[in-house]
Amino acid sequence: MNPVVHKPLLATVLGQRQDRPPMWIMRQAGRYLPEYRETRKQAGTFLDLCYNPELAAEVTLQPLRRFDLDAAILFSDILVIPDALGQSVRFETGEGPILEPLDVKGIDRLEPARASAHLAPVLETIRRLRATLPADKTLIGFCGAPWTVATYMLNGRGSPDQWVARRFALEQPAAFDRLMDMLVETSIDYLAAQLEAGADVVQIFESWALNLDDASFVRQVIDPNRRIVEGLRQRIPNAPIIGFPRGGAGNMARYAQMTGVNALGVDYATPLDFVRSHLPADLPVQGNLDPLRLVVGGEAMEKQVEAIIAAFADRPHIFNLGHGIVPETPIAHVERLVELVKHG
């Protein structure tokens, strides 16, 4: 019988405070790494890279070869789900994702029955990672939350205020609910398959939780996330789940309580004293360095790293950025960040 290997990051998600915070970096496999850029050239399109198990596993592992991180996160994208449902999705350099915007008839044309087969290459990537990842490293799977994914599906691209999706949810409530139901069920299937393939923990990226009033936040963020958590745990009891409601602000405590996630990702705009005073003391938190401080480095970064670690020293804490690392980030600054978190 193989001995149980301690995985500090997984243990933290499950509520066990560590002597020093384990860490990973959102978008840690990406364009700031020259080896990623070289692999990306081999793949064809961005989605080709997501669906190529050999190359996707390679780019997932690249940051762990450079930095002493505690977790690998599956290299993929939140928009593989609309792609799997049959919506046209493409990524344009300099523009980001572009989708064929959905209307009511477009929602009815989506094909959830095709999603499982379409996403099979992603699960093969996870199996390859599980076979090669060091035993003490946590493997993180993920999906986009239904509201966040829906904003792209309805608008056809990212938006600073999610106006199209917000209006659609109010004007076409029945069609919107059909879309959300489809995304909830597809996400449950997808996350369960990721855990069965070897992921240790999954994260739900609610990247557009801001710009919603109270009632809409409950309907469009809390309820779908709660349903995913409950549905996933019916399949896989005690499944470890991180929720990341970026921009959740004053709704964060309610989100954590009502969804039942194990750990809460905290964006960089959330004050440290707000977390300390408004979130349960035993709730694991993840975050929350501003990615721009990592770009600038030096004192601007180091003082805030110290402040974050000190603020969360009495609770389970995973050190991370409060949003994804950006391509302009110097590798030397990431090396310094890891040194600070690991060794002070």
Query: 319-339 b/e with 16+ CB inside 10 Å = b?
Result: bbbbbebeeebeeebbebbbe
Q: Using CB atoms within 10 A of its CB, is residue 72 exposed (0-12), middle (13-18) or buried (19+)?
A: buried
Hey, how many other C-beta atoms are within 10 angstroms of the C-beta on 168?
24
Only one residue has tokens 């996630």, namely 261
User: Which DSSP symbol is given to 187?
Assistant: H
Cα–Cα dist 291/288, whole Å: 9
| Contacts with 125 (C-beta within 8 Å, 6 or more apart), sequence order | 53, 56, 57, 60, 74, 75, 76
* Annotation marks residue 51 as catalytic: no
Q: What angle do CA 148, 149, 151 make, to 5 degrees?
A: 65
Which residue in the list 51, 152, 190, 255 is annotated as catalytic?
152
Structure tokens at 138: 């946590």
Bridge pairing between strands 89-92 and 96-99:
antiparallel
List 17, 31, 178, 276, catalytic entry = 31
**Quick count: other Cβ atoms within 10 Å of Cβ 30?**
20
Give me the phi and psi of 190, to 5 degrees please.
-65, -45
| Active-site choice (77, 127, 130, 235) | 77
Active site residue 161: no
Specify the pairing of strand 317-321 against strand 201-206: unpaired
- The residue from 27, 227, 246, 293 that is catalytic is 27
Which one of the listed residues 32, 36, 40, 200 is annotated catalytic?
40
The yes-or-no answer on residue 276 being catalytic is no
Question: Could you give the residue ranges of the DSSP H alpha helices within 67-199?
Answer: 80-85, 104-109, 115-118, 120-132, 146-155, 163-171, 173-197
Secondary structure of the chain: what % helix, strand, coil (to 5)? 55, 10, 35
Active-site amino acid positions: 27, 31, 40, 77, 152
